[in-house]
Homo-oligomer: A and B are copies of this chain.
Amino acid sequence: MPVIDQLIEKIIDTQNPTCVGLDTIADYLPEDLIAGADTPAAIAERIYAFNQKIIDSVCDIVPAVKIQIACYEMYGAAGIDCFERTANYAKDKGLFVIADGKRNDIGNTAGFYAAAFLGEKATCAVDFLTVNGYLGTDGIQPFVDVCKRNEKGLFALVKTSNPSSGELQDLLLQDGRTVYEYMGGLVEKWGAELVGRYGYSSVGAVVGATHPMQAARLRERFPGMFFLIPGYGAQGGNAGMIRYSFDIRGLGGIVNNSRGVLCAYKKKGGTYYEAARQACIDMQKDLAAVIGRMGK
C-alpha cells in the first residue's frame, strides 16, 4: 500500500492530523536531564532519552513524528546516531517517521541521499523525507524512484512557513504564476505515479501554516497533493489558518508542532512528557474544531 494511504489511515484511526516535531535541542531539556552533559556524545545521549519519553507518551494519540535533522547534525556522528535511534524507536512504537532534511543535489548525488534515508540499506527507519526542488526534476527523480520501490514518500518544499519565504517563492513569472505555484506543478508531476486510493500522492508538499491564502490556492489547484504543514504554534500559525489546507473529508495535510509540544512543560508545569501529551491533546481539539471529523 502506498505510504500516503498508510499515513492517511493512521490519521483517520487517531482522528489526529498532526505530527510531533522532534526538533530536540539541549535547551529544550529539563535542567536535571541535561546537567553535566558536556560532550557531543553525552548531549546526544540525553536528547535520545528525552525523545524516547516523548515518544512513549504520545505514540497512542499521534500518527507521526517529524525529526529535524539539523538538530542532530549539530552533534556530529554522535548526533546522527541519536537521530537514527530516535527514528528507529519511533517506528518501533508504530509511528510514521518524517525526516526533515530538505535534502537536494544533482541526480547521482541525490540518489545517495535517497539511499541514506529511504533506501533498502538505510540505517534509519524513515517513511518520508523532505526535499528541496530548486535543482529541478533530475535532482528529485532519484528520490521518487526509491519511493516507488520501497513504499516511501517525500514532501518537497513549495511554500515554506518562514517570514522571508515570499522573497523568491512569491515572485511572479511571465506566465502569471508564482514560483511556488510553478514548484507545486513540478511536485504534482513528480508524484503522478504514486497516487493512492484517497487521491493523494506519496510525493507531497511542504506548505506553511503561516500563509493561508497561498495554501488555499495550492489546495484548489492541486487536489492530489498532501501537505506537510509546519508553522503551527510558535511560528504563528493557528487552526483557522490551516483549515484551507484540508478537503471536505477532513484530509489533505499533517500539521507539525515542535516547540509547542516539547517545551509545553515550561509553560504549563508538570513533567515534560505529560505536558507534551496534553499539548498534543489540546492541538488535536484545536484542529478538530475547524477540520471536523476525518472520514473515509
Beta-carbon contact of A168 and B134 below 8 Å: yes
Beta-carbon contact of A135 and B74 below 8 Å: no
Known: A134-B134, A157-B134. A74 touches B162 (CB 8 A): no
| Interface: A94 (CB within 8 A) | no
- Please report which residues of chain A, range 240-254, place their CB below 8 angstroms from some CB of chain B when the two chains form the complex: none
Interface-centre pick from A109, A169, A235 (highest chain B CB count, 10 A): A109
Instruction: Across the interface, name the chain B residue whose C-beta is closest to A106.
Output: B162
Q: Name 24 A/B residue pairs within 8 A (Cβ), A-sorted.
A: A23-B109, A25-B112, A40-B123, A68-B109, A70-B103, A70-B105, A73-B80, A76-B124, A102-B105, A104-B104, A106-B160, A107-B162, A133-B134, A134-B157, A135-B160, A135-B164, A135-B165, A136-B167, A136-B169, A138-B163, A139-B162, A167-B186, A168-B182, A168-B183
- Please report which residues of chain A, range 105-133, place their CB below 8 angstroms from some CB of chain B when the two chains form the complex: 105-107, 109-110, 112-113, 115-117, 119, 121-124, 132-133
| Interface: A81 (CB within 8 A) | yes
List, in ascending order, chain B residues with CB within 8 A of A68's CB. 105, 109, 112
CA of A230 to CA of B105, assembled, Å: 12
List, in ascending order, chain B residues with CB within 8 A of A188's CB. none
Known: A74-B112, A76-B122, A133-B168. 4 other contacts (CB 8 A): A68-B112, A73-B112, A73-B117, A139-B164
Chain A interface residues (CB < 8 Å from chain B):
23, 25, 40, 68, 70-71, 73-81, 84, 100, 102-107, 109-110, 112-113, 115-117, 119, 121-124, 132-139, 157, 160-169, 171-174, 179, 182-183, 186, 230, 235
Instruction: Across the interface, name the chain B residue whose C-beta is closest to A25.
Output: B112
- Residue in contact with A136 in the complex, picked from B23, B113, B162, B173, CB distance below 8 Å: B162
Beta-carbon contact of A73 and B113 below 8 Å: yes
List, in ascending order, chain B residues with CB within 8 A of A116's CB. 70, 73-74, 76, 79
Interface-centre pick from A71, A102, A166, A174 (highest chain B CB count, 10 A): A102
Beta-carbon contact of A135 and B157 below 8 Å: yes
Instruction: Across the interface, name the chain B residue whose C-beta is closest to A107.
Output: B162
List, in ascending order, chain B residues with CB within 8 A of A70's CB. 103, 105, 109-110, 112-113, 116
List, in ascending order, chain B residues with CB within 8 A of A139's CB. 160, 162, 164
Beta-carbon contact of A132 and B112 below 8 Å: no
List, in ascending order, chain B residues with CB within 8 A of A106's CB. 160-162, 230, 235
- Residue in contact with A123 in the complex, picked from B77, B100, B124, B136, CB distance below 8 Å: B77
Known: A132-B132, A167-B136. A76 touches B71 (CB 8 A): no
Instruction: Across the interface, name the chain B residue whose C-beta is closest to A104.
Output: B102
